[in-house]
Amino acid sequence: RAASRHELAGRSEASCVMLSTFVASSLSLSAPIGVSRVAQSRVSCTRMSDDEPWNSNAQSSTTLDKSTLEAAYDAAMNAPAPAAAGGKQDFLEAEPYWDQSTIPVNTYKNKAPFVGKIVSTKRIVGPEATGETCDVVMSHGGKMPYWEGQSYGVIPPGTNPKNGKPNSVRLYSIASSRYGDDMTGTTTTLCVRRATYWCPELKADDPAKKGVCSNYLCDSKPGDDVKLTGPSGKVMLIPEKDPNVDLIMVATGTGIAPYRSFIRRLFVEETPFGEAYTKGSGLAWLFLGVANSDALLYDDEWQSVLKAHPKNFKLDYALSREQKNKDGGKMYIQDKVAEYSDEIFTRMDNGAHMYFCGLKGMMPGITEMLEGVCKEKGLKWEDKLTQWKKAGQWHVEVY
């Protein structure tokens, strides 16, 4: 049902068009971390955060037309391969790499979407998972670049039976880095939870009430066309100028998508920010809440990163059907985050950035927890939250 609400919540953002330029450089084709059936997942995250602060550093007066962007990208994609192994993943970087002034926004819009191709679609959760989640890889041919934390819009084929108009766009957070899982800069990964509605009378899923876009994507086949809009959004960007920044990432279910893009950029690919971050003191701390072990998303990847970068990466799961909270009830994401309330508050006061993506139901418990810490310290929660928002440390994208 939550996924169904997500299906209905998709919409596009009105933003100024700021397209990115790229530096042609050497391409490292290092193999990505291996994954299993529970290691790549996610349905989208809908843009529901108009009231959240945008990073002031992301504002720009730079505007490029599409032909300029395509020429720059073609130059990058046609650059010669590195002479020897070990080249860095940096051909899609800004100059300097943390500069957000040329981030691409709304390159393609609803009236003139980009037509990409489905590369692969596969189920990637176990048999006991609550619902079906598919990993959907699509090719944009290098024509629709994006940054970590952004979203693509997908326009499913067909018309809305209620009004006879073409189906509207749905937004999905991108689950791959700007280089794509194949590290060529030409693909994008979306992880989509199939939205269904259980009918108590039929005692089965009601096909008339299934999510239009999620079922379209989960049923797609390699070679199928897919209409795309975007990329959109600046709420979930990484503040890359500080290689020592703490990134506290909180997700329920498929809200994991943007964090996968973060973590691949930080720890999997040889990017300039990743190189700086792993040499610094920053901590990327991931909290993920799902129903059970079969519903864990990207677990193999997290375990590999944890083994390789224990100094810079921390991982906590909340499995509601397998774990108990301190009061003996089900362990939800807000309960797991609350176990570290003092540490999280201290890190936030020291400049950490905290991200929330997934079901909006997690937010009251987390804000109440932080409000309690404020009270213990003799502080006013509203003032503290305002301070964090003003500093661009509070990032919310929930549905």
* Annotated active-site residue in 73, 179, 259, 399: 399
Catalytic residue among 191, 213, 218, 357: 357
| Listed residue (170, 154, 71, 171) closest to 113, CA to CA | 154
265, 309 contact by CB (below 8 A): no
Q: CA angle, 219 as apex, 215 and 220 as ends, to 5°?
A: 115
Of 20, 28, 49, 173, the catalytic one is 173
What CA–CA distance (Å, rounded) separates 292 from 276?
Answer: 35
**Annotated active-site residue in 146, 172, 259, 277:** 172
Active site residue 173: yes
* CB-based burial, 135-151: b 16+ in 10 Å, e otherwise: bbbbbbebbbbbbbbbb
Determine contact, residues 286/302, Cβ cutoff 8 Å.
Answer: yes
> What is the rounded CA–CA span in Å between residue 366 and residue 2?
19
Round to whole Å and give the CA distance between 17 and 64: 8
- Does the active-site annotation cover 397? yes
CB-based contact 182:188 (threshold 8 Å): no
Contact 398, 48 (CB under 8 A): yes
Give the gyration radius of the chain's Cα atoms.
20
Round to whole Å and give the CA distance between 4 and 192: 12
- Cα–Cα distance measured from residue 280 to residue 258, given in angstroms and rounded to the nearest whole number: 22
Dihedral angle over CA of 319, 301, 99, 240, nearest 10: 60
For residue 30, indicate whether it is catalytic.
Answer: no
Q: Which residues are CB-contacts of 56 (< 8 A; sequence separation ≥ 6)?
A: 392
Q: Is 399 a catalytic residue?
A: yes
Distance CA 103, CA 58 (A): 8
Q: Is 179 a catalytic residue?
A: no
Q: What are φ and ψ of residue 342, in 5° steps?
A: -65, -45
ω into 96 cis (within 30 of 0): yes
Q: Give catalytic residue positions.
A: 172-173, 357, 397, 399
